[in-house]
Amino acid sequence: MTADFQNWTNSCQVRIETFLEARLPAADCVPERLHKAMRYSVLGGGKRVRPLLSFAAGELVLADVERVTVAAAAVELIHAYSLVHDDLPCMDDDILRRGKPTCHIEFDEATALLTGDSLQTLAFELLAEKCLTDAPEIQLQMIAQLALAAGSRGMAGGQAFDLDSVGKTLSLPELEFMHIHKTGALIRAAVMLGARCNSRLDDDQLSKLDHFAKCVGLAFQVVDDLLDAEATTATLGKTAGKDAENNKPTYVSILGVSQARELAEKLQHDAGQALDSFGEAGLRLRQVTDFIIKRKF
């Protein structure tokens, strides 16, 4: 990672943390337990990969950074909600997330359920409350795009498919279908919402960015499967080896480690190609992609 990219990453992470810290209800605001749990689940942890993608896409199209911050925060809130619910006993049943006890362990199951619900609605409150583009109809499309990405035809649908796949043998296309929805849809929304803060993009530019985002979304998941198989719980800050333990089909279980690594690199290459026509302006998105592929946690 170059010093310039490290500085940029740090400044984006500070920007998103400061914004979320200010916009999450205060811990002493009633109902205190719920607000504490919301802040616990969002602040002070996570790589903030989705906001980094929103900021990089925003930079590519010279969008206003204040507007991109709101879009990035909305996507991160949906992500945080999904982690809280995913960790519940009725889903992945995990006790460790971002190096600390999961929300339902630190608080309780009912609070964790309400925390996820409230983070999700806060995301849409943010997206709807201020002007994020110069064209109101595009802002409506952004709100619809995030709803679609998070719902039954996106992340929640992918999660349902995932729960149903435990103990089954999936083909590669079926695994891809699951991850395009479960993980890819929100990553795609992160890129597209950042870019759409500039309302003057044409259809060709939007479709190239969308193709970039689809490749990165899948690459993210392939690397996630590799890390689950190869890294330790201490490095990941979440329980390692859960996929094999739960008999879950993954890129590693279907392809093996070295072919899964090759697939991640191919997807990185395809993602980069989709940015070719943007020239130098695509540098940040390429750097964030590289960060996603080479990450160790």
Please tell me the distance from the alpha carbon of residue 187 to that of residue 196, in angstroms, as a whole number: 14
Q: Output 266 or 295, the one with its CB closest to ligand GRG.
A: 295
Complex with ligand GRG: residue 139 or 250, whichever CB lies closer: 250
The site string for ligand GRG over 31-70 (x = CB under 6 A, - otherwise) reads ---------------xx-x---------------------
By rule CB under 6 A, what count of residues binds ligand GRG?
A: 17
Cβ 220 to ligand GRG shortest distance, Å: 7
The smaller minimum CB distance to ligand GRG, of residues 84 and 132, is found at 84
Rounded to a whole number of angstroms, the minimum distance from the CB of residue 50 to ligand GRG is 7
Cα–Cα separations (whole angstroms), residue 154 to 80, 189, 245? 16, 10, 26
Residue 31: is the preceding peptide bond cis (ω within 30°)? Answer: yes
C-beta of 224: minimal distance to ligand GRG in Å? 4
Provide the token pair at 209: 């960015």
- What's the closest the beta carbon of residue 47 comes to ligand GRG, in angstroms? 4
Angle at which helices 32-42 and 109-129 cross, to 10°: 70
**Candidate residues 15, 35, 85, 104; the one interacting with ligand GRG per rule CB under 6 A:** 85
Q: Whole-number minimum distance, CB 187 to ligand GRG, in Å?
A: 9
How many beta carbons lie within 10 A of that of residue 165, not counting itself?
Answer: 16
Query: Where do the H-state alpha helices sit in the chain?
Result: 3-23, 32-42, 49-60, 65-86, 103-106, 109-129, 136-150, 155-165, 172-179, 185-196, 203-230, 233-236, 242-245, 251-255, 257-274, 283-294
Per CB under 6 A, does 82 bind ligand GRG? yes
* Per-residue mark of binding to ligand GRG, 130-169 (x: CB under 6 A): -------------------------xx--x----------
Nearest residue to ligand GRG, scored by beta-carbon proximity: 46
Site for ligand GRG in 178-217 (CB under 6 A): 182-183
Choice between 59 and 86, CB closer to ligand GRG: 86
Integer CA distances (angstroms), 30 to 25, 27, 33, 36, 42, in order: 9, 8, 8, 10, 18
Interface with ligand GRG, residue 224, by CB under 6 A: yes
Cβ-defined contacts of 18-26 (< 8 Å, 24+): 19/69, 19/70, 19/73, 20/73, 20/76, 20/77, 23/73, 23/122, 23/126, 24/122
Contacts with ligand GRG by CB under 6 A lie at 46-47, 49, 79, 82-83, 85-86, 91, 98, 155-156, 159, 182-183, 221, 224
